[in-house]
Amino acid sequence: MIGSILGDMIPLDRTLQHLPNWEAELALEFECRDRATCLAGRRHRGPLRVQKALYPEGGEVCQAILLHPPSGIAGGDQLRISASVGAHAHAQITTPGAGKWYRSGGAEASQTLDFKLATGATLEWLPQETIVFDGASASIRTHVELAADSRYLGWDILCLGRYAAGERFATGSIGLHTRIERNGQPLWLERGQIAGDDAMLQSVAGWAGATVCGTLLATLPTGDEAADMGIMNTTLLAACRAIRPVDGAEHGVTALPGLLVARYLGQRSEAARQWFAALWHELRPVLLGRTAVSPRIWNT
């Protein structure tokens, strides 16, 4: 979810520092003016920031990089992030590094994302991975409201424990709730609760011993819109299925009415991110009408 540009500079586990809980809010408003997208509104409370609007592709796409200076989310922290994308505007939101959810002393931490897209609007939500430390207590909610012809492409990568350091998610809990709706009707509704001692983490019917799970969701044109754009969902689906994670992890790509879904289940967050980026390069020209240009922040 929210990565921190200071994450490598301040490697402190806040659970050991007895610091007060953070309550932070960030509200962004994107508008299309003279065929260019601008960051028309930017309100914040607490440690959430967007320093400036970036235009790596020219004026039509406004890129915002979310910063969370505390370097991680500890028990009791509450983050609320909203973005309103006005008619025909195109916004891209990403993060500079992995988000970290620290071990909790008992209080639950939460993050809520609320995205609202107006007529003809486009939003790309492309965060880097979320690492949930052993013992964390987290609630993560995402709500995307789409107009009849707005477009959304987003992903999330969830890492249970710090696998490279030998840490497993043995205790704690994570609550997940994602809802994507168009004109008030749900396209995607998913709820989950993960406990550190849950047998499903090892079961072949669940995580099967994997520690990284990722989901990519992209709205698909349907009906007359699909015909007008000359898009064959089956052709696009076949092209995406031909792209595979470099680590050979379990994965799948499917098309639902109005929505393409890609899933990763494995051990490497980097492989998941690379696979999603490859799918994004395939999907973006077809679904969003623009060649994929990777955010420079991903390489820093």
Structure tokens at 154: 């987003």
How high is the pLDDT of residue 204? 92
Condensed to tens digits (0 to 9), the pLDDT of residues 181-233 reads 999 999 999 999 999 989 999 999 999 999 999 999 999 987 666 666 656 67
Task: Grade residue 140 by pLDDT with cuts at 50, 70 and 90.
Answer: very high
Structure tokens at 188: 């995607």
How high is the pLDDT of residue 226? 65
135-139, 162-166, 258-262: the lowest-pLDDT one = 162-166
Distance between terminal CA atoms of the chain? 17
How high is the pLDDT of residue 230? 58
Helix, strand, coil distribution of the chain in percent, nearest 5: 15, 45, 40
How high is the pLDDT of residue 291? 95
With a CB cutoff of 8 Å and minimum separation 6, the contacts of 70 are 4, 14, 22, 47, 77
Domain ranges of the chain: 14-290
d(CA 154, CA 152): 7
- Partners of 94 in the β-ladder: 65, 126
Condensed to tens digits (0 to 9), the pLDDT of residues 156-172 reads 999 999 887 788 899 99
Closest C-alpha among 182, 186, 168 to residue 119 = 182
pLDDT above 90 covers a percentage of the chain that reads 76
Averaged confidence pLDDT in the chain: 89
3-state secondary structure of 140: strand
- Partners of 138 in the β-ladder: 109, 174
